[in-house]
Structure 1
Amino acid sequence: MINFNLQSWQEEMSGLTFEFALPTFKDECRSKTSKYLAESAFSFIEGVFFYHLPNYQNFGHWGTTEVSKQHWSHIRLVLQKLNNKLEQAEYFHQLKTVLYDFQFIFDEDWRQDMVIKFAEYKVNLSQMISQIIEWFDENIQKYNTVFIKGI
């Protein structure tokens, strides 16, 4: 089962997670001010960051990538477009043009799980995207930049 919840810091976090961090904590691992997302969930939108954030292409999946206000405004529009298509889609394959084909990270088991449980997962994926947009919007206004820390 894919966990699409954007999580706050917990003492015992399991699995591979991405961390969304504020600039003051970019060098600190597992900050209490950060938000966390399971790799399996982030994989559905990771292509958006990969293709629209040049620095992410340099090992962003495993390293730390800065997201500027300028880059975020473009990524935000792409995520909103994805969310709009998601709400209208009846089947997972209808999202192919907005998910990007991010094969080298996208696990086939996660894709199959999404295909089978699409009706259930699409609501969770949509909520996740909305929560990410909300968190980035709030913090990019305060700090002008935020960081994505890969697994």
Structure 2
Amino acid sequence: MNDRITTTILECASEVAPASKMKDSKLSTETRILMKKRRMMKKTEVNNNRDIRNNIEYAELDKTIKKKAREDIRKQNMKKIAETIENGKSMKRAKRSFQLGQDRMLTLLDKDENELTTQDQILERVEEFNGELYDSNKGIEISTKACDLPA
């Protein structure tokens, strides 16, 4: 009975929200292997006493990983740009594909310095702020007096 319930739940879940395709990683396998090695070094350093040789090796490995990661990401981005140009598509679309996600405001303070966390509260506060900002009761004074300018 447990197996039937589990199977039913999994089938319903896959219908409602099918598994998303994982994006290809921008990092090469070589870089990922180096990152794994760095993680292992860090674990062993925590357990053992650190010596100068290990610190130097760890620092050099860290520099290499950062350099390789930059190169891999740059190669991937250039590949996307080349594909976009070859297919005659918009560069704006390619630029959008480089972005990771939408930046959202997670918290905002209201007038009384209380923290607003829900999206609806934040939107209300932004509307209120903009309303106050652009709702001006002051008239604009324009001076028509002639003034002497230095020659």
Q: What TM-score results when the alignment is normalised by the length of structure 1? A: 0.22
Which of the two has greater helix per residue? 2
Which of the two has greater strand per residue? 1
Q: What TM-score results when the alignment is normalised by the length of structure 2? A: 0.22
Asked which structure has the greater CA Rg, the reply is: 2
